[in-house]
Amino acid sequence: MGVVTSIGQDADTFYNNLLDGVSGISEIEAFDCSQFPTKIAGEIKSFSADGCVSPKLFKRADKSVLYLLTAGKKALADAGITEQVMDVLDKTRCGVIIGSALGGMKIFNDAIEALRVSYKKMNPFCVPFATTNVGSAILAMDLGWMGPNYSISSACATSNFCILNSANHIIRGETDLMLCGGSDAAIIPIGLGGFVACRTLSQRNDDPTKASRPWDTDRDGFVLGEGAGVLLLEELEHAKRRGAKIYSEFLGGSFTCDAYHMTDPHPDGMGIALCIEQALVQSGVSKENVNYINAHATSTLRGDLTEFQAIVRCFGQNPELRVNSTKSMIGHLLGASGAVEAVATIKAIQTGWVHPNINLENPDEAVDRDLLVGTKKESLDIKVALSNSFGFGGHNSSILFAPYK
C-alpha cells in the first residue's frame, strides 16, 4: 500500500494519525483564496517525491501525476518488490490501473492562460499531462510493466472502479500483479471555484479542523482534499511463492448508477443499497459477516443520510457493525478518496483498530449513533470490511476486504 495525504505520506504514519484523530484540514496556502467563500482544504503542505520521480518530471508534471507515481512506488516498496524481484517478474503479466476524477487540472489551466497570449507559449506537454491516463502510463514506463494499463474516471468513485477492474484482470488469469487506485490534485483556483459554484463546500473557515463533520447536525458541506492511494493486488499463489507479506484478501465488489441526478444521490438510496447488495452476492459474503464499513460520508446534508439509510436497509441493526468516515480528517480526495480509504480499511483489519469520526459532536437525528464509531478510536476484530465510494453522475461503488487466513 502507498499513500500521499495531508496527514501522512506513508501508510503507517497516515493510519496512526487517523487513529489519533489528527485533522489535515487547514487554511489554503498554495494560492490567494481571499475572493472565495471557502478558504480551507486538506492541502498537502510539504510534498516530497522521495526519489520516486526524476527532477525533470517533477518540474513538468501535474501534482496529480507526481502523487500517483510516489504512492505507486511506495506501494511497490511496501510489497517487497525490489530490483531483484522485479528482474524475475513476467512484466507482460503486470499492469497498472490508477485513475483520476479530474486529471491534470493545473496543467490544462496553465495551457489556457498561455493560449491567451499565443499558442507558441503553450507547454508542449500540456495535452498528455492533462489526461487521466498519463500517470498510469508513466509508471508502467518506469517499471517496464506491459500488462493492462489504462485509467478509469468515474468522479469520486474512480478508485474503487480501478481496484475492482484490476482484481478482475487477476481473477480472469490475465495478470499476476496490478497496481491500482486513484490520484487527484484539485486544490487550485479553478478547482476550488468550481466546487464553490456547485455549492458543495464547507465555509467553516474560522475553524478548519472542525469543518469536515460527517453525520453531524452542524455539517455545511464537504472539504476539498488532495493526494493519492495505491494498492498492489497480487494473485494469491504468486504472492505465496515469493514470500510476500499479505495484509488482507480482496473479496470483490460492485458498481451501480442512480440514474437520477448530476450531483445529488437518489433520495431513497436505492442505487447505493443495490450496489452493496450486489457486492455481497458477487463476493459470496453474508451481510451478518460485515462488521466494519468505511463510509463515503463526505459531510454533506443529503449524501451522509442517504448512505446511512442504505446501510441500515442492507444490514439492519447489527450490534457488531461499526461505521466511520476517513473524510472527517483528510477531506474529500475526489478520485483518490476510494483508494486512500481502502488503505485505511486494510490498516483497520491489520491493526484491529478503527479510527474515530472526529467532529461527530451532535449526530443527526436520522442516524443511529450506536452504529457510528465515536470521537475516539475503537478496538474491532474485523470479519469483513466494506468500503463505499460514490460520485457525481450517480456512480456507486462498494468493495470488500477480509483478513487473510
Please list the active-site residues: 156, 296, 332
Q: In terms of Cα–Cα distance, which of 300, 196, 177, 189 is closest to 241?
A: 177
Looking at the chain, the number of H-run helices and the number of E-run strands are: 14, 13
Residues 6 or more apart whose CB falls under 8 angstroms from that of 64 comprise 100, 102, 103, 104, 105, 135, 183, 184, 185, 228
Cβ atoms of residues 294 and 344 within 8 Å: yes
Residue indicated by cell numbers 510476500: 244
Q: In terms of Cα–Cα distance, which of 232, 236, 260, 279 is closest to 389?
A: 279
- Burial label for 217, CB within 10 Å (0-12, 13-18, 19+), is middle
H helices of 242-336, where? 270-283, 301-315, 327-330
Q: What is the dihedral of CA 162, 165, 169, 170, to 10 degrees?
A: 80
Q: What is the dihedral of CA 312, 315, 321, 326, to 10 degrees?
A: -60
Pull the grid cell for residue 211.
469543518
Pull the grid cell for residue 316.
439492519
Rounded to whole angstroms, the Cα distance separating 166 from 164 reads: 5
Rounded to whole angstroms, the Cα distance separating 346 from 247 reads: 7
Pull the grid cell for residue 75.
506501494
What single DSSP character describes residue 172? T
Rounded to whole angstroms, the Cα distance separating 131 from 112 reads: 15
Rounded to whole angstroms, the Cα distance separating 117 from 108 reads: 15
Rounded to whole angstroms, the Cα distance separating 190 from 209 reads: 23
The dihedrals phi and psi of 276, each to the nearest 5 degrees, come to -65, -45
Instruction: Tell me the three state secondary structure of residue 139.
Output: helix
Rounded to whole angstroms, the Cα distance separating 387 from 395 reads: 14
